[in-house]
Chain A
Protein backbone atom coordinates (compact mmCIF):
# COMPACT_ATOMS: atom_id res chain seq x y z
CA UNK A 1 0.00 0.00 0.00
CA UNK A 2 1.10 3.56 -0.65
CA UNK A 3 1.51 6.25 2.02
CA UNK A 4 -1.89 7.79 1.29
CA UNK A 5 -3.55 4.38 1.62
CA UNK A 6 -1.95 3.82 5.01
CA UNK A 7 -3.30 7.22 6.12
CA UNK A 8 -6.77 6.23 4.90
CA UNK A 9 -6.53 2.97 6.79
CA UNK A 10 -5.68 4.78 10.02
CA UNK A 11 -8.59 7.18 9.56
CA UNK A 12 -10.89 4.23 8.88
CA UNK A 13 -9.70 2.41 12.00
CA UNK A 14 -10.27 5.42 14.24
CA UNK A 15 -13.71 6.00 12.73
CA UNK A 16 -14.67 2.37 13.29
CA UNK A 17 -13.60 2.52 16.93
CA UNK A 18 -15.63 5.70 17.42
CA UNK A 19 -18.64 4.02 15.77
CA UNK A 20 -18.45 1.21 18.33
CA UNK A 21 -18.22 3.65 21.25
CA UNK A 22 -14.53 2.94 21.74
CA UNK A 23 -13.24 6.48 21.23
CA UNK A 24 -11.66 6.34 24.70
CA UNK A 25 -9.27 3.70 23.39
CA UNK A 26 -8.19 6.00 20.59
CA UNK A 27 -7.17 8.64 23.12
CA UNK A 28 -5.35 6.09 25.27
CA UNK A 29 -3.40 4.81 22.28
CA UNK A 30 -2.49 8.34 21.28
CA UNK A 31 -1.18 9.06 24.76
CA UNK A 32 0.86 5.89 25.03
CA UNK A 33 1.99 5.56 21.43
CA UNK A 34 5.61 6.28 20.64
CA UNK A 35 7.03 6.53 17.15
CA UNK A 36 10.40 7.73 15.97
CA UNK A 37 10.75 11.15 14.38
CA UNK A 38 10.38 10.63 10.63
CA UNK A 39 8.33 7.44 11.02
CA UNK A 40 6.54 6.44 7.82
CA UNK A 41 2.74 6.30 7.57
CA UNK A 42 3.01 2.51 7.45
CA UNK A 43 5.03 2.48 10.71
CA UNK A 44 2.52 4.81 12.39
CA UNK A 45 -0.44 2.60 11.42
CA UNK A 46 1.28 -0.57 12.60
CA UNK A 47 2.27 1.10 15.88
CA UNK A 48 -1.34 2.25 16.35
CA UNK A 49 -2.68 -1.25 15.80
CA UNK A 50 -0.13 -2.77 18.17
CA UNK A 51 -1.12 -0.13 20.73
CA UNK A 52 -4.78 -0.99 20.19
CA UNK A 53 -4.00 -4.66 20.72
CA UNK A 54 -2.24 -3.83 24.00
CA UNK A 55 -5.09 -1.63 25.23
CA UNK A 56 -7.66 -4.35 24.54
CA UNK A 57 -5.54 -7.06 26.10
CA UNK A 58 -5.11 -5.03 29.28
CA UNK A 59 -8.88 -4.75 29.66
CA UNK A 60 -9.86 -8.26 28.74
CA UNK A 61 -11.72 -10.44 31.20
CA UNK A 62 -9.31 -13.24 30.37
CA UNK A 63 -6.44 -11.31 31.96
CA UNK A 64 -8.46 -10.84 35.16
CA UNK A 65 -9.20 -14.57 35.29
CA UNK A 66 -5.52 -15.26 34.78
CA UNK A 67 -4.42 -12.94 37.58
CA UNK A 68 -7.01 -14.35 39.99
CA UNK A 69 -5.78 -17.90 39.41
CA UNK A 70 -2.19 -16.84 39.87
CA UNK A 71 -2.92 -14.83 43.00
CA UNK A 72 -4.83 -17.69 44.61
CA UNK A 73 -1.96 -20.05 43.83
CA UNK A 74 0.38 -18.01 46.01
CA UNK A 75 -1.90 -17.37 48.98
CA UNK A 76 -1.91 -19.39 52.17
CA UNK A 77 -5.23 -20.69 53.48
CA UNK A 78 -6.65 -18.11 55.84
CA UNK A 79 -6.13 -18.85 59.50
CA UNK A 80 -9.56 -17.38 60.02
CA UNK A 81 -11.11 -20.13 57.91
CA UNK A 82 -12.59 -23.11 59.65
CA UNK A 83 -9.84 -25.74 59.78
CA UNK A 84 -11.97 -28.47 58.23
CA UNK A 85 -13.07 -26.34 55.29
CA UNK A 86 -10.98 -25.35 52.29
CA UNK A 87 -9.79 -21.77 52.25
CA UNK A 88 -11.97 -19.38 50.30
CA UNK A 89 -10.53 -18.37 46.95
CA UNK A 90 -10.71 -14.84 45.65
CA UNK A 91 -13.26 -15.05 42.84
CA UNK A 92 -13.46 -11.46 41.62
CA UNK A 93 -11.77 -8.09 41.84
CA UNK A 94 -14.01 -5.04 42.06
CA UNK A 95 -13.32 -1.33 42.07
CA UNK A 96 -15.16 0.31 44.94
CA UNK A 97 -16.28 3.62 43.52
CA UNK A 98 -15.82 6.89 45.34
CA UNK A 99 -18.82 9.29 45.57
CA UNK A 100 -18.12 11.03 42.26
CA UNK A 101 -17.54 7.76 40.41
CA UNK A 102 -20.83 6.48 41.87
CA UNK A 103 -22.64 9.49 40.43
CA UNK A 104 -20.97 9.12 37.04
CA UNK A 105 -21.30 5.36 36.69
CA UNK A 106 -24.45 4.82 38.76
CA UNK A 107 -22.73 1.85 40.34
CA UNK A 108 -21.36 1.20 43.82
CA UNK A 109 -18.63 -0.91 42.36
CA UNK A 110 -17.32 -2.19 39.04
CA UNK A 111 -16.43 -5.84 38.66
CA UNK A 112 -13.29 -6.34 36.61
CA UNK A 113 -14.38 -9.89 35.91
CA UNK A 114 -17.62 -8.75 34.33
CA UNK A 115 -15.72 -6.79 31.73
CA UNK A 116 -15.68 -7.82 28.08
CA UNK A 117 -13.63 -10.72 26.81
CA UNK A 118 -11.49 -9.23 24.08
CA UNK A 119 -9.52 -12.44 23.59
CA UNK A 120 -11.03 -13.48 20.22
CA UNK A 121 -10.84 -9.91 18.92
CA UNK A 122 -7.17 -9.67 19.91
CA UNK A 123 -6.43 -12.91 18.04
CA UNK A 124 -8.19 -11.51 14.98
CA UNK A 125 -6.19 -8.31 15.24
CA UNK A 126 -2.93 -10.26 15.56
CA UNK A 127 -3.66 -12.02 12.28
CA UNK A 128 -4.51 -8.73 10.59
CA UNK A 129 -1.32 -7.06 11.86
CA UNK A 130 0.72 -9.98 10.52
CA UNK A 131 -0.85 -9.56 7.08
CA UNK A 132 -0.37 -5.79 7.15
CA UNK A 133 3.32 -6.22 7.94
CA UNK A 134 3.61 -7.89 4.52
CA UNK A 135 1.70 -5.10 2.78
Chain B
Protein backbone atom coordinates (compact mmCIF):
# COMPACT_ATOMS: atom_id res chain seq x y z
CA UNK B 1 0.00 0.00 0.00
CA UNK B 2 1.46 3.41 -0.94
CA UNK B 3 2.69 5.53 1.96
CA UNK B 4 2.11 9.20 2.70
CA UNK B 5 5.09 11.36 3.62
CA UNK B 6 4.12 11.27 7.28
CA UNK B 7 3.83 7.49 7.27
CA UNK B 8 7.19 7.19 5.51
CA UNK B 9 8.84 9.55 8.02
CA UNK B 10 7.42 7.53 10.89
CA UNK B 11 8.64 4.33 9.25
CA UNK B 12 12.16 5.76 9.04
CA UNK B 13 12.07 6.89 12.67
CA UNK B 14 10.86 3.47 13.80
CA UNK B 15 13.55 1.74 11.76
CA UNK B 16 16.39 3.94 13.03
CA UNK B 17 15.18 3.39 16.59
CA UNK B 18 15.16 -0.37 15.92
CA UNK B 19 18.85 -0.22 15.06
CA UNK B 20 19.24 0.07 18.81
CA UNK B 21 22.88 1.10 19.03
CA UNK B 22 24.18 3.32 21.80
CA UNK B 23 24.67 6.63 19.94
CA UNK B 24 27.94 7.27 21.75
CA UNK B 25 29.38 3.93 20.67
CA UNK B 26 27.74 3.84 17.26
CA UNK B 27 30.32 5.79 15.28
CA UNK B 28 33.11 3.46 16.39
CA UNK B 29 31.09 0.37 15.68
CA UNK B 30 30.07 1.41 12.23
CA UNK B 31 33.38 2.92 11.21
CA UNK B 32 35.19 2.10 8.03
CA UNK B 33 37.71 -0.12 9.84
CA UNK B 34 35.05 -2.51 11.07
CA UNK B 35 33.27 -2.66 7.74
CA UNK B 36 36.49 -3.30 5.83
CA UNK B 37 37.61 -6.01 8.23
CA UNK B 38 34.26 -7.79 8.18
CA UNK B 39 34.50 -7.88 4.41
CA UNK B 40 38.11 -9.09 4.59
CA UNK B 41 36.99 -11.92 6.88
CA UNK B 42 34.11 -12.63 4.48
CA UNK B 43 36.60 -12.85 1.59
CA UNK B 44 38.92 -15.05 3.64
CA UNK B 45 36.04 -17.43 4.22
CA UNK B 46 35.16 -17.44 0.53
CA UNK B 47 38.81 -18.00 -0.41
CA UNK B 48 39.12 -20.96 1.96
CA UNK B 49 35.83 -22.45 0.73
CA UNK B 50 36.76 -22.12 -2.95
CA UNK B 51 40.29 -23.47 -2.49
CA UNK B 52 38.84 -26.43 -0.60
CA UNK B 53 35.88 -27.19 -2.86
CA UNK B 54 37.08 -26.06 -6.28
CA UNK B 55 40.81 -26.70 -6.04
CA UNK B 56 40.75 -29.72 -3.73
CA UNK B 57 43.08 -28.31 -1.10
CA UNK B 58 43.05 -29.36 2.54
CA UNK B 59 43.36 -26.30 4.75
CA UNK B 60 44.56 -26.37 8.33
CA UNK B 61 44.19 -23.42 10.68
CA UNK B 62 47.12 -22.65 12.98
CA UNK B 63 45.98 -20.40 15.77
CA UNK B 64 43.69 -20.15 18.76
CA UNK B 65 39.94 -19.83 18.94
CA UNK B 66 40.17 -16.17 18.00
CA UNK B 67 41.27 -15.27 14.50
CA UNK B 68 43.12 -11.95 14.71
CA UNK B 69 43.28 -9.68 11.68
CA UNK B 70 45.80 -6.87 11.77
CA UNK B 71 44.65 -3.26 11.48
CA UNK B 72 47.84 -2.43 9.63
CA UNK B 73 50.04 -4.47 7.34
CA UNK B 74 53.60 -5.66 7.97
CA UNK B 75 55.91 -8.61 7.51
CA UNK B 76 54.78 -12.18 8.22
CA UNK B 77 54.42 -12.47 11.98
CA UNK B 78 54.33 -16.04 13.25
CA UNK B 79 52.45 -14.84 16.34
CA UNK B 80 49.39 -14.27 14.16
CA UNK B 81 47.08 -17.04 12.99
CA UNK B 82 47.57 -18.46 9.53
CA UNK B 83 46.57 -21.41 7.41
CA UNK B 84 48.51 -24.32 5.92
CA UNK B 85 47.44 -25.51 2.46
CA UNK B 86 48.00 -29.14 1.46
CA UNK B 87 47.41 -31.14 -1.66
CA UNK B 88 47.65 -34.91 -1.29
CA UNK B 89 49.30 -34.47 2.10
CA UNK B 90 52.03 -32.17 0.79
CA UNK B 91 52.21 -28.56 1.93
CA UNK B 92 51.91 -26.29 -1.11
CA UNK B 93 51.62 -22.93 0.62
CA UNK B 94 50.71 -20.82 3.64
CA UNK B 95 47.87 -18.32 3.80
CA UNK B 96 48.47 -15.09 5.77
CA UNK B 97 46.41 -11.97 6.24
CA UNK B 98 47.45 -8.30 6.11
CA UNK B 99 51.06 -8.61 5.06
CA UNK B 100 53.39 -6.64 2.86
CA UNK B 101 54.91 -8.19 -0.24
CA UNK B 102 58.24 -7.23 -1.77
CA UNK B 103 57.94 -5.85 -5.27
CA UNK B 104 59.58 -6.91 -8.50
CA UNK B 105 61.13 -3.46 -8.86
CA UNK B 106 62.65 -3.77 -5.39
CA UNK B 107 64.17 -7.10 -6.40
CA UNK B 108 65.89 -5.28 -9.26
CA UNK B 109 66.73 -1.98 -7.56
CA UNK B 110 67.03 -2.76 -3.87
CA UNK B 111 65.08 -1.04 -1.13
CA UNK B 112 63.26 2.21 -1.86
CA UNK B 113 60.04 3.95 -0.83
CA UNK B 114 57.80 1.73 -2.95
CA UNK B 115 59.57 -1.55 -2.35
CA UNK B 116 56.60 -3.26 -0.62
CA UNK B 117 52.87 -3.35 -1.22
CA UNK B 118 50.18 -4.16 1.33
CA UNK B 119 47.90 -7.08 0.51
CA UNK B 120 44.83 -8.26 2.38
CA UNK B 121 45.20 -12.01 1.84
CA UNK B 122 48.37 -13.66 0.60
CA UNK B 123 49.44 -17.25 -0.05
CA UNK B 124 53.19 -17.68 -0.01
CA UNK B 125 55.49 -20.63 -0.61
CA UNK B 126 55.96 -22.92 2.40
CA UNK B 127 58.33 -21.67 5.09
CA UNK B 128 58.64 -18.08 3.89
CA UNK B 129 59.27 -15.60 6.73
CA UNK B 130 59.57 -11.83 6.99
CA UNK B 131 58.53 -9.88 3.90
CA UNK B 132 57.92 -12.30 1.03
CA UNK B 133 59.61 -11.37 -2.21
CA UNK B 134 57.52 -11.20 -5.38
CA UNK B 135 58.71 -14.65 -6.48
CA UNK B 136 57.66 -16.25 -3.17
CA UNK B 137 54.06 -15.18 -3.66
CA UNK B 138 51.57 -17.75 -4.96
CA UNK B 139 48.36 -15.71 -4.66
CA UNK B 140 47.28 -12.25 -3.58
CA UNK B 141 43.68 -11.26 -2.90
CA UNK B 142 42.34 -7.71 -2.70
CA UNK B 143 39.06 -7.20 -0.83
CA UNK B 144 37.04 -4.10 -1.72
CA UNK B 145 33.72 -3.46 0.03
CA UNK B 146 33.02 -0.46 -2.14
CA UNK B 147 32.30 0.74 -5.63
CA UNK B 148 35.04 -0.70 -7.83
CA UNK B 149 36.33 2.37 -9.62
CA UNK B 150 38.71 2.69 -12.53
CA UNK B 151 41.31 3.90 -10.01
CA UNK B 152 41.09 0.54 -8.24
CA UNK B 153 41.53 -1.22 -11.59
CA UNK B 154 44.71 0.77 -12.18
CA UNK B 155 45.87 -0.12 -8.66
CA UNK B 156 45.49 -3.86 -9.16
CA UNK B 157 47.15 -3.66 -12.57
CA UNK B 158 50.11 -2.06 -10.76
CA UNK B 159 50.12 -4.87 -8.19
CA UNK B 160 50.10 -7.43 -11.00
CA UNK B 161 53.05 -5.67 -12.63
CA UNK B 162 55.02 -5.58 -9.38
CA UNK B 163 54.52 -9.32 -8.87
CA UNK B 164 55.33 -10.62 -12.33
CA UNK B 165 56.24 -9.81 -15.90
CA UNK B 166 53.71 -10.38 -18.66
CA UNK B 167 54.71 -13.61 -20.40
CA UNK B 168 53.48 -16.73 -22.13
CA UNK B 169 51.12 -18.91 -20.11
CA UNK B 170 52.67 -20.53 -17.02
CA UNK B 171 51.15 -23.01 -14.58
CA UNK B 172 50.36 -21.83 -11.04
CA UNK B 173 50.27 -24.12 -7.99
CA UNK B 174 46.49 -24.26 -8.35
CA UNK B 175 44.73 -26.85 -10.50
CA UNK B 176 41.45 -25.08 -11.17
CA UNK B 177 40.62 -22.11 -8.96
CA UNK B 178 41.48 -19.28 -8.98
CA UNK B 179 43.77 -19.75 -11.97
CA UNK B 180 45.53 -22.93 -13.11
CA UNK B 181 47.71 -20.87 -15.44
CA UNK B 182 48.46 -17.19 -15.91
CA UNK B 183 50.25 -15.08 -18.53
CA UNK B 184 52.83 -14.06 -15.93
CA UNK B 185 56.30 -14.97 -14.76
CA UNK B 186 56.62 -15.76 -11.82
CA UNK B 187 53.24 -17.43 -12.13
CA UNK B 188 51.32 -16.04 -9.18
CA UNK B 189 47.54 -15.72 -9.13
CA UNK B 190 45.75 -12.45 -8.41
CA UNK B 191 42.13 -12.22 -7.28
CA UNK B 192 39.92 -9.20 -6.62
CA UNK B 193 36.77 -9.63 -4.53
CA UNK B 194 34.37 -6.70 -4.55
CA UNK B 195 30.83 -6.01 -3.41
CA UNK B 196 30.38 -4.07 -6.67
CA UNK B 197 28.80 -6.24 -9.40
CA UNK B 198 30.49 -4.08 -12.05
CA UNK B 199 33.91 -5.37 -10.96
CA UNK B 200 33.51 -8.25 -13.41
CA UNK B 201 33.31 -5.79 -16.31
CA UNK B 202 37.10 -5.52 -15.99
CA UNK B 203 37.70 -9.23 -16.63
CA UNK B 204 38.93 -8.65 -20.22
CA UNK B 205 41.94 -6.78 -18.79
CA UNK B 206 42.25 -9.52 -16.19
CA UNK B 207 42.41 -12.15 -18.91
CA UNK B 208 45.32 -10.34 -20.56
CA UNK B 209 47.34 -9.84 -17.37
CA UNK B 210 46.24 -12.73 -15.14
CA UNK B 211 43.76 -11.23 -12.69
CA UNK B 212 40.46 -12.80 -11.66
CA UNK B 213 37.73 -10.27 -10.82
CA UNK B 214 34.95 -11.71 -8.65
CA UNK B 215 31.72 -10.08 -7.50
CA UNK B 216 31.31 -11.18 -3.89
CA UNK B 217 28.30 -9.58 -2.17
CA UNK B 218 27.81 -9.75 1.58
Contact = CB atoms under 8 A, between A and B. Distances in A.
B16 A16 contact: yes
Interface of A: 1, 5, 8-9, 12-13, 16-17, 19-25, 28, 31-32, 34, 54-59, 63-64, 67-68, 70-71, 73-80, 88-98, 101, 105, 109-110, 112, 115-116, 118, 120-121, 124-125, 128, 131-132, 134-135
Contact of A28 (B21, B32, B52): B32
Interface residues of B, number: 66
A63 B21 CA distance: 17
A132 B15 contact: no
Given A21-B23, A94-B68, A98-B72, A58 B8 contact: no
A97 to B, nearest CB: 5
A90 B44 CA distance: 13
Interface of B: 1-5, 8-9, 11-35, 37-39, 41-42, 44-45, 48-49, 52-53, 58-72, 80, 83, 86, 145-147, 195, 218
A90 B67 contact: yes
A9 B70 CA distance: 40
A9 to B, nearest CB: 5
A20 B30 CA distance: 12
Given A92-B67, A131-B11, 13 more contacts: A13-B16, A20-B21, A59-B29, A76-B86, A90-B67, A94-B69, A95-B37, A97-B71, A110-B34, A118-B19, A120-B18, A125-B15, A132-B3
